[in-house]
Amino acid sequence: MSPSLVVPDLIRDRWPLGRSGRPAVPAFAGTTLLAGIALLMALLAAPVAAQDSLPPAPYAYQQLDDPKLEAQAQALMQTLRCLKCQSQSIADSDAPMAGDMRHQVRSRLMAGDRPEEIRDWLIDRYGDYVSYEPRVTSATWPLFALPLVLFVVALLVVARRLRKRA
């Protein structure tokens, strides 16, 4: 496994509109922190600086030979968040970490994993934040319940008009 997968998701793109996907400036660069925390951050940041000089993992910029598997990989990668960027999927990012995650997705698919297994594995590692496809959990159920409520309300509004006006 590539070392960059342990990069904390604290590190984000500083540009407000940044979709360039280039290596981002760490978010803590401009903030004042206690010396101890700063030291810790510096230690964490070191592998980031190092990783930029490493060549990208083989499947970061290489498609799978089987077009069906590649299509699955593409579909999955478009729904996984690049943790170093702002609002960008790993399919769209040139950040090294996104490249490593693409490599993971493609090589696991080739090894026979199903796309949803890979998503679950990544969620285990990075939390729900990594997936653009929210799961139904105790924290996210309103996301799914409210549209249903909306649908019922919409039907009721229209039905009420129908009854009153007809």
Partner 1 sequence: MIAEFGLAALWLAAALAVLQLVGAALAQTAGGKVLAQVVRPAAVVQALLCTIAFVMLLWLFVRTDLSVLLVASNSHSAKPLIFKLAGAWGNHEGSMLLWITVMALAGALIALIEYRLPEKTMHATLGAQAFVGLGFYAFLLFSSNPFERISPVPPEGMGLNPLLQDIGLALHPPTLYAGYVGLSVAFSFAVGALLTRQVTPEFAKVMRPWVLGAWIFLTLGITAGSYWAYYELGWGGWWFWDPVENASLMPWLAATALLHSASVLASRDALRTWTIMLGVVAFSMSMLGTFLVRSGILTSVHAFAVDPERGSFILALLALYIGGALVLFAMRANTISEGKRFSLLSREGALVVNNVALSAILGIVLLGTLYPLLTEAFDVRVSVGPPYFNPVSAIFFLPMLVVLAVGPLLRWRHDRFARVRLPVIIIAAVGIAVLLGVWLIAGIALLPLLGMALAATVAVASFLPLRGRALRRLPIAVWGMAVAHFGVAVALFGMAADSAFTIEKLSAARVGETTVVGPWQVRLDRVEPVAGPNWTALEAAMTASYDGGEGQVIRPQSRSFWSPQQQTSESALLTRWNGQLYAVLGQAAENGRWQLHLWWKPFVTWIWFGGLLIALGGLLSLIGRVSVDVRRRSATTRIEARHAEATR
What Rg, from alpha-carbon coordinates, does the chain have? 21
In angstroms, give the least distance from the CB of 22 to partner 1.
5
Residues 99-118 that bind partner 1 (CB under 8 A): none
**Residues 6+ away with beta carbon under 8 Å from 50:** 3
Distance CA 53, CA 2 (A): 13
48-67: which residues touch partner 1 (CB under 8 A)? 55-56, 61-63
Among 52, 116, 117, 133, the residue binding partner 1 under the rule CB under 8 A is 133
- Residue 7's Cβ-side half-sphere holds a number of Cα atoms within 13 Å equal to 29
Q: Which residues contact 118 (CB under 8 A, 6 or more apart)?
A: 76, 104, 105, 108, 109
Among 5, 20, 45, 115, binds partner 1 (CB under 8 A): 20
79 to each of 31, 90, 106, 136, how far by Cα in Å?
Answer: 31, 8, 14, 16
Please tell me whether residue 146 binds partner 1 under the rule CB under 8 A. yes
Task: Determine if 120 is a binding residue for partner 1 (CB under 8 A).
Answer: no
- Using CB under 8 A, pick the residue from 3, 38, 42, 134 that binds partner 1: 134
3-state secondary structure of 59: helix
39 contacts partner 1 (rule: CB under 8 A): no
Q: Which helix (H) or strand (E) holds 47?
A: helix 35-51
The answer to whether 141 contacts partner 1 (rule: CB under 8 A) is no
Q: Which residues bind partner 1 (CB under 8 A)?
A: 12, 15-22, 27, 31, 55-56, 61-63, 74, 78-79, 81, 86-89, 91-94, 127-134, 139-140, 142-143, 146-147, 150-151, 153-154, 157-158, 161-162, 164-166
